[in-house]
């Protein structure tokens, strides 16, 4: 009898496995809404757009603000009204489809640029959703006349412009120069870059009497000196293209660190991009007798993400990679640190990679420069472990997590993977929050941290989160769970990466460093994390968070802007592969 029950249970489990596999195989992820009726879907489940993955909805059309696809669908509607209606239609379509799992029902018709298919989302036909919304048009007539009238009325109240990323000019919706621009997007005027200029053909230069009233959101301070610690925040909303000039504050600070080092300089870097001034300073330091040691991640250059790393390590003799012979799984973990120790007295650390996108301020990063022999000693001991060949889970736990006093700050220092800092320290701090929790982060995939944030929100703590656009659709992203729980989460819409890994709690604690809020960040990679108790520093971080929150439009609470597209400011003219699909700017589908 027991054998029969066991066989029955095994069969049920097997059937369940097959059903789970079937469901997942038939559910496809929506990658991007091109227009409300042209949708790009990950049909082969490789998390990127390939040929034959563009779907057209049969038998129905709609207005769109995508200038490359705009057609005046109804004769009585002006192009100005049509683009405004299209802006609302695009927002609606994105809210219904972006990054959702859908099913496809093909009708056998293939067009030159797409394949026709009905999309089933949450057990409903997307075409029916479009029809009931009022955005659907069939044979030049609105399907839902009553809803369309309300949409048209709302569209007239929008204050929209056509913004050209390349020329940095904005146009009225009916301007022929704006409509014909290659790299242009329809935006509310409040979302225009503050340095954007009006098109001289469609905007009359205002006099003092009729001068356009615009609110300029002034950035808060991005540098704070607090005794023996300096904090620098890179405002990536002001830098829309990376360069190698080393003119940004973060690069100048690192140059100063190198130039003022007299004996030893230990550098732990995930990846390296050639910055001439930094390279020259390092070589100059070596010539004057400074012993330079470098540890680096193997995968970052072997995967061609930071190919210049290989050039750097050839220039210096004291280098060590995290490659562990015969242990592929350990080697595949990341040496993800980004810190330097000068003369065993000063520590330069934070979220910034030693790269063009980091040193130029193109990515949003946070950097700490700490003048303390005690803290430098802690980082040196961690560096020595790795330099001796002990990376990842081979490292020992030095048990040095006691609170260090530095001026007005209490500082705790943790290293992954040995310290399990998210589980043992970050989550308890989140659980004990009394007022607010602000998080500007590259990603959140850590399930237990996500649950603690949701529970904090439920008990009345004010939780707000900003996440980077590249990571909202990664396999373990918890952005959907956070949003479904009612937590306000904005997905940023700038060309650079929101690369910080920060949590601000009760305007008292700041959690920062290189550690992403992920299982890998806690349990696999080599990382460093600092927890700083200092209200002055916490308020400094909070002010920047609120500034960034206001700069990112409220529509990004519901809509996730693709990282390389007309919806991410500057991403189609920065020379960077923002979404890691091998295509840049005009060659990327999002910018066409």
Closest-CA residue to 496 (of 420, 578, 582): 578
Phi, psi of 122 (to 5 degrees): 50, 45
| Catalytic residue chosen out of the listed positions 320, 499, 524, 566 | 499
What's the rounded Cα separation, in Å, for the pair 241 and 186? 21
- Residue of 243, 343, 377, 506 marked active site: 506
d(CA 437, CA 544): 14
- State how far the Cα of 542 lies from the Cα of 529, in Å rounded to an integer: 19
* φ and ψ of 154, to 5 deg: -65, -40
CA gap 95, 127 in Å, rounded = 14
Give the Cα separation of 415 and 583 in Å (integer). Answer: 36
72 within 8 A of 79, measured Cβ to Cβ:
yes
Please answer whether residues 353 and 254 qualify as being in contact, where contact means their C-beta atoms are separated by less than 8 angstroms: no
Upstream peptide bond of 417 is cis (omega within 30 degrees of 0): yes
- Reference 431, options 404, 465, 411, 458; nearest CA is 458
Query: 215: which residues sit within 8 A by CB, 6+ positions away?
Result: 190
Q: Catalytic site residue 506? A: yes
Q: Hey, is 513 helix, strand or coil? A: strand
Catalytic residue (one of 446, 501, 566, 583)? 501
Q: What b/e sequence results for 287-318 when a residue is b if at least 16 CB atoms lie within 10 Å of its CB, and e otherwise?
A: eeebebbbbbbbbbbeeeebebbeebbeeeee
How many helices and strands, by DSSP H and E, does the chain display? 18, 28
Quick check: helix, strand or coil at residue 13?
helix
490-511 burial, b for 16+ CB within 10 Å, e for fewer? bbbbbbbbbbbbbbbbbbbbbb
Give yes or no: 501 in active site. Answer: yes
**CA 222 to CA 5: how far, in whole Å?**
66
Which secondary structure element, helix H or strand E, spans residue 177, and what is its range? helix 176-179
CA dihedral 377, 379, 385, 389 (to 10 degrees): -140
Q: Based on C-alpha coordinates, what's the Rg of the chain?
A: 26
Residue 203 CA from chain centroid, whole number: 35
Four-CA torsion 350, 355, 357, 362, nearest 10 degrees: 50
**What residues are annotated to the active site?**
499, 501, 506
């Amino acid at each position: 009898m027991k054998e029969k029950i066991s066989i029955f249970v095994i069969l049920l489990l097997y059937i369940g496995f097959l059903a789970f596999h079937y469901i997942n195989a038939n559910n496809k992820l929506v990658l991007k809404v091109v227009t409300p009726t042209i949708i790009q879907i990950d049909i082969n489940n490789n998390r990127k757009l390939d040929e034959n993955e563009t779907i057209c909805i049969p038998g129905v059309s709609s207005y769109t603000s995508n200038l490359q696809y705009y057609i005046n669908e109804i004769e009585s509607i002006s192009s100005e009204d049509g683009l405004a209606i299209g802006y609302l239609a695009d927002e609606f379509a994105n809210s219904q489809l972006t990054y959702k799992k859908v099913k496809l029902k093909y009708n056998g018709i293939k067009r030159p640029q797409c394949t026709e298919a009905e999309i089933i989302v949450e057990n409903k036909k997307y075409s029916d959703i479009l029809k009931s919304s009022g955005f659907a048009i069939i044979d030049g007539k609105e399907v839902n006349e009553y809803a369309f009238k309300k949409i048209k009325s709302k569209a007239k109240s929008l204050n929209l412009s056509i913004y050209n990323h390349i020329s940095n000019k904005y146009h009225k919706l009916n301007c022929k120069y704006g409509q014909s621009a290659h790299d242009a997007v329809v935006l509310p005027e409040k979302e225009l870059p503050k340095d954007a200029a009006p098109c001289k053909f469609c905007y009359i230069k205002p006099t003092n009497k009729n001068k356009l009233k615009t609110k300029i959101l002034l950035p808060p301070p991005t540098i704070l000196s607090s005794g023996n610690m300096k904090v620098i925040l890179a405002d990536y909303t002001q830098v829309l293209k990376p360069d190698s000039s080393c003119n940004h504050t973060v690069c100048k600070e690192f140059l100063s660190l190198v130039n003022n080092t007299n004996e030893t300089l230990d550098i732990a870097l995930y990846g390296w991009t050639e910055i001439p001034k930094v390279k020259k300073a390092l070589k100059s330091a070596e010539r004057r007798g400074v012993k330079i040691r470098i540890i680096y991640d193997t995968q970052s250059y072997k995967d061609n993400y930071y190919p210049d790393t290989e050039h750097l390590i050839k220039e210096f003799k004291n280098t060590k990679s995290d490659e562990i012979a015969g242990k592929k799984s350990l080697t595949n973990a990341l040496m993800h640190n980004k810190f330097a120790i000068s003369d065993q007295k000063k520590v330069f650390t934070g979220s910034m990679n030693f790269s063009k996108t980091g040193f130029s301020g193109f990515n949003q990063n946070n950097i700490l420069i700490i003048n303390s022999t005690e803290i430098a000693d802690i980082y040196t001991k961690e560096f020595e472990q790795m330099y001796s060949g002990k990376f990842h889970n081979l490292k020992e736990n030095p048990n040095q997590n006691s609170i260090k006093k530095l001026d007005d700050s209490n500082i705790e220092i943790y290293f992954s993977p040995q310290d399990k800092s998210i589980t043992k320290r970050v989550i308890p701090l989140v659980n004990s929050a009394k007022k607010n929790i602000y998080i500007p982060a590259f990603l959140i995939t850590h399930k237990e941290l996500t649950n603690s944030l949701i529970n904090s929100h439920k008990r009345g703590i004010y939780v707000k989160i900003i996440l980077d656009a590249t990571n909202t659709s990664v396999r373990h992203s918890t952005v959907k769970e956070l949003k479904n729980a009612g937590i306000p989460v904005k997905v940023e819409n700038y060309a650079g990466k929101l690369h910080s890994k920060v949590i601000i709690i009760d305007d008292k604690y700041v959690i920062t460093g290189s550690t992403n809020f992920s299982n890998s960040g806690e349990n696999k990679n080599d990382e460093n994390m600092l927890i700083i108790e200092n209200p002055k520093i916490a308020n400094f971080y909070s002010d920047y968070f609120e500034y960034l929150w206001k700069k990112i439009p409220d529509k990004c609470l519901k809509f996730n802007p693709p990282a390389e597209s007309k919806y991410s400011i500057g991403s189609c003219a920065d020379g960077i592969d923002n979404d890691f699909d091998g295509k840049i700017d005009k060659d990327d589908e999002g910018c066409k």
